[in-house]
Amino acid sequence: MLEVDIKNNHNEKTGTLTLDDQIFGAPVNPSLLHEVVQMQRASMRQGTASTKTKGLVRGGGRKPWRQKGTGRARAGSSRSPIWRGGGITFGPSPRSYAYSLPKKKARKALYSVLSSKVEEGTLFVLEEWVFSEVKTKSMVHLLQKLGLTGRVLIAVSQKEEDLDRMSRNLPGVKLLEIRNLDVYSLVLNETLLITQRDIARLVEVWGKS
């Protein structure tokens, strides 16, 4: 049975929470995580690189010189790829790099990375969000109190304007709704910060078979 400490805003233990074994006790599979991260990164590529072939480059319709008798090599167009200003051979053109994996495979990868957070002790469960004022420094103060450094992913059931305002200007902090959790964000951010109430929401959303 997996348990994690529940902390308040002063980094004091206020209780323990029993975690769902299916989600937080799954085997950690590095190769599966790599596969899913590669898929996500490929889907994020813009794919806007573009070049012109000799048929797309302007000009070159007229044969530069006659076929025989000049002593020069045969040429049919001044826009040939071997000419300066000519087209590009096998160059990139706009395309989508996105592809998908089976949903069950992606879900197993999510379980795997969440389980790794538990193993590494980088899953922090907060009792509740308590702030004296809605300012960025309030979030900074909380993270310092909890001893969280590096990249921090905050998972919430639903984005609230106050929490978003306090975190969006911090370069090392990312706020994400639980329904939008993804493997790449969890791998990229060393620490997952979530409240006790939102853990229940995470199990409700991602615990479906």
The pTM for the full model equals 0.83
What average pLDDT score do residues 3-8 get? 92
- Residue 1 scores a pLDDT above 80: no
Give the CA count within 13 Å in the CB-facing half-sphere of 3: 7
- Residues recorded for the chain: 209
Cβ neighbourhood burial of 198 (10 Å; 0-12, 13-18, 19+)? buried
- Distance of alpha carbon 155 from alpha carbon 175, whole angstroms: 6
| Mean pLDDT of the chain, nearest integer | 93
Cβ neighbourhood burial of 101 (10 Å; 0-12, 13-18, 19+)? middle
Output the DSSP codes for 10-75.
TS-EEEEEEPPHHHHSSPP-HHHHHHHHHHHHHHH---------TTTSS---S-SS-SSSSSSPP-
Domain boundaries, the chain: 3-45+100-206, 47-96
- Residue 9 scores a pLDDT above 80: yes
What average pLDDT score do residues 54-64 get? 91
Q: Give the closest residue to 122 by CA, choosing from 196, 187, 170.
A: 187
At the second CATH level, the architecture of 3-45+100-206 is 3-Layer(aba) Sandwich (3.40)
Q: Residue 32 region, left (φ>0) first, then alpha (ψ -120 to 50), else beta?
A: alpha
For CA atoms 105, 106, 107, 113, give the dihedral sign.
positive
- Residue 208 scores a pLDDT above 80: no
Each residue of 64-98: pLDDT tens digit?
999 999 999 999 999 999 999 999 999 999 999 99
Question: Would you state the pLDDT for residue 209?
Answer: 56
Each residue of 133-186: pLDDT tens digit?
889 999 999 999 999 989 999 999 998 899 999 999 999 999 999 999 999 999
Beta-sheet strand order (sheet of 191-195): 13-18, 3-7, 123-126, 191-195, 152-156, 173-177
Each residue of 103-113: pLDDT tens digit?
999 999 999 99
Percent of the chain whose predicted confidence (pLDDT) is above 70: 100
Give the CA count within 13 Å in the CB-facing half-sphere of 26: 20
